[in-house]
Amino acid sequence: ASKYAAADIASLITWKPGSPVPYSLLANTFEAIAETTKRLEIVALLVSAFRAILATTPADLLPATYLCVNRVAPAHTGIELGIGEATLIRALCEATGKNEASIKKAYEASGDLGVVAVGARSTQRTMFQPPPLTIASVLKSFRDIAQTAGNRSVDNKRGMIVKMLAAAKGNEAGYIIRSLQAKLRIGLAEQSVLVALAHAVHLHREGVKEREGRLAERLEAAAQVVKQAYSECPSYDVLIPALLEQGTADLLTRCHFMPGVPVKPMLAKATNSVGEVLEKFTDSEFTVEYKYDGERAQVHVVDAGKTVHIFSRNAENNTPKYPDIVARLRGLLKPHVQSIVFDSEAVAYDPDRKKILPFQVLSTRARKDVSVGEIKVQVVLFAFDCLYLNGESLLHRPLTERRQALYGALVEKPGELEFASAKTSRDVEELEGFLNESVEAGTEGLIVKTLADSYEPSKRSSHWLKLKKDYMEGVGDTFDVVPLGAFFGKGKRTGVYGAYLLGVYDPDTETYQTISKLGTGFSEEQLAQLADTMRPHIIPQPRKYYRWSEGLVPDVWFDAAAVWEVKAADLSISPKHQAAMGLVDPSKGISIRFPRLIRVRDDKSPEDATTAAQVADMFRSQAIIKQQQAAKQKEQ
Ligand code: ATP
């Protein structure tokens, strides 16, 4: 409780209660957060800042939260920061009176435009000091910048940036620049922001009156509720007003799933065999469905089909990519359907041969400004879940009910909208037969789902298991890894990177941990292409939240930005790699051997990479398979 003492909060408050909170509060908090890698400390620092805001100007909690997560609006609105370097460098020149060559030189030396901005400011003297930046004004400027369009937009954006830089003091310019680049990167994950919000709101409303153990329990409960509410309704515009109004009590009834605000999808865990499925689901009823190889499409329909939105697995608005689906949907709703949200997979389709096509074909389809007449790759939607129907959220209903709702709401039409092929059986042979059929039909295998459980947004749930043909052949699942660094190429590969250092993500410690080195299986063209896409992500030093070993240090480090899907031979305990360190072996990590790049996953963000816990799970099930194989051989 001492870290939450009232005196600490009071010492932070340097502004008049009720007046806009200065941006310096956040800049100083960011600075302190960047200094530590301890999650509890990070949360405590943020809690203090949020409590200071709650005690004086609660309306600023919403803009402060957006600034902490380095966004200006919910993901589905598509309003994003990400100003190019050239514009920022020119703005820095204008704001500081320095020439471009000196700014660029400083940038080359430090590799961080934020550092350049702070250094450039300290020598600058101005006659008329503009008023200090406030949290609300910074967010407003960021939003204006993100939304400025038209032919003079670059100049207009630069003008707004120059104004902010001119008003920035001390370390503020650094965070302004990094936020504008959408590269705040202080090691502050969104989950920590949610926990801090919950703690701050609870402490603000209830005080620190309970004994320590009880208080810790209450804070933990509050954090769970806030995380759950945000996973069902991922919009701070809804969450924060609800928290300010009545705290965490009853939050889930006030902040729930609604059409227009996409949830992060429920995901599946890997499993090795039909036998393992039956073992894991001994006590639960389950169903199996084809796992189609396309793109997740969460379809939100309101006003009986007058408005349709299609969201990707990352909550991006994919509606402009699929005008054909939008056009056909109204005719596929049963008459009683006013509003519906359903989960589906959009899969490339050959209408002549009436066959589905692999993901690679779908990925050639244009992403934006598509007109129905110009579409070359046809798609069919395979619907598999219903999350909302006629004003009611179905997230907490069992799958049986959600399926009934789905089947009752939509009209199937071959080649346009179909329900995912499904089967309910516990018979090993029948299930194996269905798995073979699924692979022959051009899908990746099966997804096994328990029938009695609710929909768990943004979770890799143990209620959904994926069963791919690959696993059964012992090849294992693919890994989604993040390139963290690279080694310079030699000989023919001079000028490109010859190998990459790959990492996985551990959401529990919020660290990226190395798992392998990838250096074979590339064509020369691919090597050049990868080097081009990775160069802009070079950083001068590894991030504080990277975990690697001194025996394997790459020539260049990258920001955790890209996600690559790789296939590997097997997993082994490794003294050199840090993945899942402590989960299987107390002092060694796990590595994957002979990884090969399958595809770049533009649809995933680094925090969606394979997790340390998944790596540990895969290692354990590999060990079980090996034991089984050894036992079989002995029998023979
Ligand atoms: P992958 O790399 O194979 O896409 P992933 O980690 O992104 O895997 P998984 O949990 O393996 O996601 O599988 C869930 C994905 O499978 C969903 O996001 C969806 O796009 C796709 N999918 C295809 N058919 C189904 C289905 N019947 N039910 C649920 N998801 C399905």
List pLDDT tens digits, range 493-541.
778 899 999 999 998 888 999 999 998 888 888 899 999 999 999 998 8
Q: Give bridge partners of residue 423 from the DSSP assignment.
A: 288
- Does ligand 1 come within 6 angstroms of the Cβ of 268? yes
Cα–Cα distance for residue pair 74/260, rounded to 1 Å: 11
- Catalytic status, residue 588: no
Closest C-alpha residue for ligand 1 atom 20: 296
Closest residue by Cα to atom 31, ligand 1, is 291
pLDDT of res. 187: 86
Query: Per-residue pLDDT tens for 190-232?
Result: 999 999 999 999 999 988 777 778 899 999 999 999 999 999 9
Cα atoms found within 13 Å of the Cα of residue 500, Cβ hemisphere only: 29
Q: Are 457 and 231 in contact (CB under 8 A)?
A: yes
Burial class (CB in 10 A: 0-12, 13-18, 19+), 422: middle
The verdict on the CB of residue 296 being under 6 Å from ligand 1 is: yes
Is the CB of residue 466 below 6 angstroms from any atom belonging to ligand 1? yes
Q: How far apart are CA 189 and CA 176, in angstroms?
A: 18
Catalytic residue among 157, 264, 291, 604: 291
Q: How far is the CA of 440 from the centre of ligand 1 (A)?
A: 18
The predicted pLDDT at position 620 comes to 84
Identify whether the C-beta of residue 173 lies closer than 8 Å to the C-beta of residue 28: no
Tell which one of 269, 286, 296 to mutate to probe ligand 1, the residue whose CB is within 8 A of the most ligand atoms. Answer: 296
Distance CA 620, CA 62 (A): 43
Helix, coil or strand: residue 94: helix
573: phi then psi, degrees, rounded to nearest 5: -70, 135
Give residue 2's pLDDT.
47
Q: Read off φ and ψ for residue 582, nearest 5 degrees.
A: 90, -15
Buried/exposed 348-371: b ≥16 CB within 10 Å, e otherwise = bbeeeeeebbeeebbbebeeeebe
* Long-range contacts, stretch 497-503, CB < 8 angstroms, 24+ apart: 497/527, 497/530, 497/531, 497/534, 497/556, 498/527, 500/530, 500/534, 500/554, 501/548, 501/552, 501/554, 502/564, 502/566, 502/595, 503/546, 503/547, 503/548, 503/560, 503/579, 503/609
For every residue of 466-525, DSSP letters joined together read EEEHHHHTT----EEEEEEEEEE--GGGTTSEEEEEEEEEETTTTEEEEEEEE-SS--HH
Distance 496 CA to ligand 1 centre (A): 33
State the sign of the Cα–Cα–Cα–Cα dihedral 202, 208, 213, 216.
Answer: positive
Q: What separation in Å is there between the alpha carbon of 453 and the centre of ligand 1? A: 18
CA distance 545 to 558: 12
* β-bridge pairing 307-311 and 286-291: unpaired
At residue 431, what is the residue type? Answer: L
Q: What is the pLDDT of residue 509?
A: 85
Q: Helices (DSSP H) in 57-152: which residue ranges?
A: 61-68, 85-96, 100-110, 113-122, 135-147
Comparing C-alpha atoms, which of 519, 585, 590, 579 is closest to residue 546?
579
Closest among 455, 423, 442, 456 to 277, alpha carbons compared: 423
* Predicted local confidence at residue 1, as pLDDT: 44
Mutate to test the pocket of ligand 1, among 263, 264, 267 (most ligand atoms within 8 A of CB): 267
Q: Give me the residue label for tokens 């309910």.
A: 424
The 3 state secondary structure assigned to 303-348 is HHHCEEEEECCCCCECHHHCHHHHHHHHHHECCCCCCEEEEEEEEE
Q: What angle do CA 582, 587, 591 make, to 5 degrees?
A: 75
pTM (two decimals): 0.85
Count CA atoms within 13 Å of residue 70 on its CB side. Answer: 21
Task: Provide the token pair at 452.
Answer: 């009695």
Is 267 close to ligand 1, i.e. is its CB under 6 Å away? yes
What one-character DSSP code corresponds to residue 21? Answer: P
288 lines ligand 1 (CB under 6 A): no
Shortest-distance atom of ligand 1 to CA 269: 10
CB proximity list for 386: less than 8 A, separation 6 or greater: 340, 341, 342, 343, 394, 402, 403, 405, 406, 409
Q: At 302, is the secondary structure helix, strand, or coil?
A: strand
**Residue 558, beta-bridge partner list:** 538
Q: Report, as ranges of residue numbers, the positions in the chain whose pLDDT lies below 70.
A: 1-7, 121-127, 470-476, 625, 636
Three-class SS state of 93: helix
In 3-state terms, what secondary structure has residue 432? helix
Is 345 close to ligand 1, i.e. is its CB under 6 Å away? yes
Ligand 1 atom nearest the C-alpha of 601 is 2
